[in-house]
Amino acid sequence: MTMKKQILTFVVLLGTVCASADNAVATLHADQAGSKINKEIYGQFAEHLGSCIYGGLWVGEDSPIPNIKGYRKDVFDALKALQIPVLRWPGGCFADDYHWMDGIGPKKNRPSLRNNNWGGTIEDNSFGTHEFLNLCEMLGCEPYISGNVGSGTVKEMAQWVEYMTSDGDTPMARLRRQNGRDKAWKVKYFGIGNEAWGCGGNMTPEYYSNEYRKFNTYLRDQGDNKLFRIASGASDYDYDWTRVLMKNIGNRMQGISVHYYTVKEWNKKGKATIFTPEEYYLTLEKCLDVEPVVAKHCAIMDETDPEKKIALMVDEWGTWWDEEPGTIAGHLYQQNSLRDAMVASLMLNVFHKYTDRVRMCNIAQVVNVLQSMILTDQKGTGHMVLTPTYHVFEMYKPFQEATYLPMDLTTDSIKTTEGKMVPMISTSAARTADGQIVIALANTSLDKSQKLDIALEGVTAKTVAGRILTSKSAVDYNNFEHPNVVAPREFKDAKLKKGTLSVKLPAKSIVVLTLK
Ligand code: AHR
C-alpha cells in the first residue's frame, strides 16, 4: 500500500494542550435518560453521482461481478450487515434534474440521460424507481425519496407518489402493475426539493416556501401510506433560510433539512490521505462546528415549534476532499482515512445529543462518493473495500434506537492554529432496549494516549467489553491490496471497579464499550 509520506510525527507542537486534569474525568448520568436516538440518525445517501449507483450499488444482472438481481452482492451484503435504516435517493443535485418516468418499464425502452451535475456522464436509467424501492425492501430500510421541484412539475411529483404508494385502481397504480409490481411500496420519507437555494432552483427562501406549499398540496397520501414531508433546508450557517421556512411552511412539513459538510475551504479541499497534523486538527475543528450550527437551527425552530413537532434532518453531511487522481472529474471519488473515521465518530456524538430535534442524518454517500462506507474498484476488477467510516457506523450500531444518556466530561483540549479548541476526548452514551449501556469514546489526539475515569451513576453493570478502531497513523486507509489496515479490534483497556469505569485510550482511537 502506498501510504505516501506519513508526516504525522510530532516534532511540531501544533498548539497548546490546555491541561485540566491528570486523567480526564467524566460522570455518566444513566439515571437522567434523554430522548431516543432514532435509528435514522445512521441514514445513508445514494445519489446518481459517479459510481455510487452504477458500479457501486448496481451492476446489472448480466454483469460478471457477482450480483443479486443486478445489485452488487458484496456491497449489498456489507450494507445489510450495517443495518442501514434509511436510504436517500436519487439526489442531491441530481434529484432536481431527474424525471422518474424515464426510469420505469422495460429497460431497453428507457431513454438514457446526461447527468448534468456530475461530470456529464451518460446513464442508461436501468436503475429507477423499482430498482431503488426493491433494494430498500431487500435491505430492510426506509426509502427516502427526493422529489424534483427545480425542473419538475407538480403533476410529475404527484404521479410519482401515486405510482409508488397507491394500492387502488388508480392510473399510476395500474401503470406500476403493468411494470411488474402489484403491491404498492411503503414510502415514508419524501423530500420536496433539494438545496433549493442552489442546484435545486436558486430560489430565495420566500419563493421556495411558496413552491413547497404548492407542490405539497397535490402530494396526496395514498391509502394508509402517510408521507413524512421534508422541506429543502439550509446550507450550514444560513439561519435565515430556516427561520423563513418555519414561518411560511410551518406544520405543512414534518421535517426540514440542513446540509453540513466538513470542508475548510471549498476551493482548497485538500487530499484525503495526505495531510499534516495541523490540517488534521483543523478538520476536526470544522467538524465540531456542526454543534453550534445544529444548536442554532434548533433554537430557531424552538421559537415557532416549542413542542419539537418538526424534525431537523441533517440529510447530507461528511468530509469532502479532492477527487482521487486518475478518477473521473465530477465523480467525487475519494479515499477515506482514520481521520474520516474520527470525523464520523465526532459528528455522531453530536447528533446523539440533539435527538430531541434531530431525527435523521444521511452521510454523503453510501458507496464510492465523498465520505463513503464502501469503495469499489473503479477499474471494474470486482474488488470492494470497507472504509474506516464503515467501521465506525458498524461499531456504533447499538446506538440505533437506544436512549441517550448525558455525560459530563472534563478533558484537555488542543488549540488549533486558528485558535479554536478541539477537545482531546469526545464521548456519547446510551441505554439499549435490553438494558445495556453503550459508550463511545474518541481520543482525538494524534500523539497522546488518554486515561479517562467515568463515574457511573445509575448503572448496575458488572462487565465491560469493547472494540477499538485505530491505526499507526491518522493517514492510514484501506485499499484493495490491503483492506484491513484500519479495522476494529477487541479492546481490553477498560476496567469496571466500584462504580467507576477506567479506560486507557490510545492516541487517535475510537472505542465503543458495552456494559452489561
Ligand atoms: O453530495 C453531493 C452534493 O452535495 C449533493 O448532490 C448536493 O445536494 C450537495 O451540494
> Residues with catalytic annotation?
195, 316
The pTM assigned to this predicted structure is: 0.95
Residue-wise pLDDT for 113-127, tens only, equals 999 999 999 999 999
Determine which helix (DSSP H) or strand (DSSP E) holds 405, and give its type and residue range: strand 403-405
The set of residues, in sequence order, having a beta carbon less than 8 Å from that of 498 and lying 6+ positions away, is none
Instruction: Mark out the alpha helices in 24-128 (DSSP H runs).
Output: 73-82
**Ligand 1 atom 4 nearest Cα:** 92
Is 376 near ligand 1, meaning CB less than 6 Å away?
A: no
**Ligand 1 atom 1 nearest Cα:** 364
**Ligand 1 atom 2 nearest Cα:** 92
Residue-wise pLDDT for 63-104, tens only, equals 999 999 999 999 999 999 999 999 999 999 999 999 999 999
CA distances from 69 to 58, 60, 183, 391, 497 (A): 9, 7, 19, 27, 52
Distance 194 CA to ligand 1 centre (A): 9
Report the pLDDT value the prediction gives residue 22, as an integer from 0 to 100.
60
Is 263 near ligand 1, meaning CB less than 6 Å away?
A: no
**Ligand 1 atom 6 nearest Cα:** 92
Is 152 near ligand 1, meaning CB less than 6 Å away?
A: no
DSSP 265-309: -TT----SS---HHHHHHHHHHHHTHHHHHHHHHHHHHHH-TT--
**CA atoms of 395 and 470, how far apart (whole Å):** 13
Is 46 near ligand 1, meaning CB less than 6 Å away?
A: no
**CA atoms of 244 and 208, how far apart (whole Å):** 10
Q: Which of 191, 243, 240 is nearest to 219 (CA)?
A: 191
**CA atoms of 13 and 410, how far apart (whole Å):** 22
Report the pLDDT value the prediction gives residue 10, as an integer from 0 to 100.
30
Identify which of 260, 316, 365 to mutate to test ligand 1's pocket (most ligand atoms within 8 A of the CB): 316
**Bridge partners, 387 (sequence order):** none
The set of residues, in sequence order, having a beta carbon less than 8 Å from that of 268 and lying 6+ positions away, is none
Determine which helix (DSSP H) or strand (DSSP E) holds 93, and give its type and residue range: none
Distance 93 CA to ligand 1 centre (A): 6
Is 200 near ligand 1, meaning CB less than 6 Å away?
A: no
Is 91 near ligand 1, meaning CB less than 6 Å away?
A: yes
**CA atoms of 238 and 196, how far apart (whole Å):** 13
Identify which of 93, 94, 117, 149 to mutate to test ligand 1's pocket (most ligand atoms within 8 A of the CB): 93
Relative to the CA of 91, which ligand 1 atom is closest? 6
**Ligand 1 atom 7 nearest Cα:** 92
Q: Is 397:83 a contact under the CB 8 Å cutoff?
A: yes
Identify which of 118, 199, 202 to mutate to test ligand 1's pocket (most ligand atoms within 8 A of the CB): 199
> What sign for the dihedral angle of Cα 422, 425, 430, 432?
positive
Is 93 near ligand 1, meaning CB less than 6 Å away?
A: yes
Is 334 near ligand 1, meaning CB less than 6 Å away?
A: no
Is 194 near ligand 1, meaning CB less than 6 Å away?
A: yes
Distance 490 CA to ligand 1 centre (A): 36
**CA atoms of 330 and 431, how far apart (whole Å):** 42
Distance 400 CA to ligand 1 centre (A): 25
**CA atoms of 68 and 60, how far apart (whole Å):** 9
Distance 54 CA to ligand 1 centre (A): 17
Is 316 near ligand 1, meaning CB less than 6 Å away?
A: yes
Determine which helix (DSSP H) or strand (DSSP E) holds 255, and give its type and residue range: strand 255-262
Report the pLDDT value the prediction gives residue 19, as an integer from 0 to 100.
44
Is 92 near ligand 1, meaning CB less than 6 Å away?
A: yes
CA distances from 422 to 97, 291, 448 (A): 40, 12, 14
Q: Is 74 exposed, middle or buried (0-12, 13-18, 19+ CB in 10 A)?
A: middle
245 φ, ψ to 5°?
-65, -40
- Helix, strand, coil share (%) of the chain residues, nearest 5: 25, 25, 45
Is 96 near ligand 1, meaning CB less than 6 Å away?
A: no
**CA atoms of 384 and 483, how far apart (whole Å):** 9
For the chain, how many helices (H) and strands (E)? 10, 28
Relative to the CA of 47, which ligand 1 atom is closest? 6
Relative to the CA of 194, which ligand 1 atom is closest? 8
Report the pLDDT value the prediction gives residue 516, as an integer from 0 to 100.
96
**CA atoms of 94 and 54, how far apart (whole Å):** 14
CA distances from 394 to 72, 243, 265, 284, 491 (A): 20, 35, 30, 21, 15
Q: Which three cell numbers stand for residue 428?
A: 456519547
Report the pLDDT value the prediction gives residue 6, as an integer from 0 to 100.
32
Distance 441 CA to ligand 1 centre (A): 30
Q: Could you identify the residue written with the cell 469505569?
A: 501
Report the pLDDT value the prediction gives residue 23, as an integer from 0 to 100.
81
**List of the chain residues with pLDDT < 50:** 1-15, 18-21
Q: Going edge to edge, which strands form the sheet with 403-405?
A: 403-405, 425-431, 437-443, 509-515, 464-469, 489-491
**CA atoms of 485 and 38, how far apart (whole Å):** 31
Q: Could you identify the residue written with the cell 418516468?
A: 101
Q: Is 254:230 a contact under the CB 8 Å cutoff?
A: yes
Is 412 near ligand 1, meaning CB less than 6 Å away?
A: no
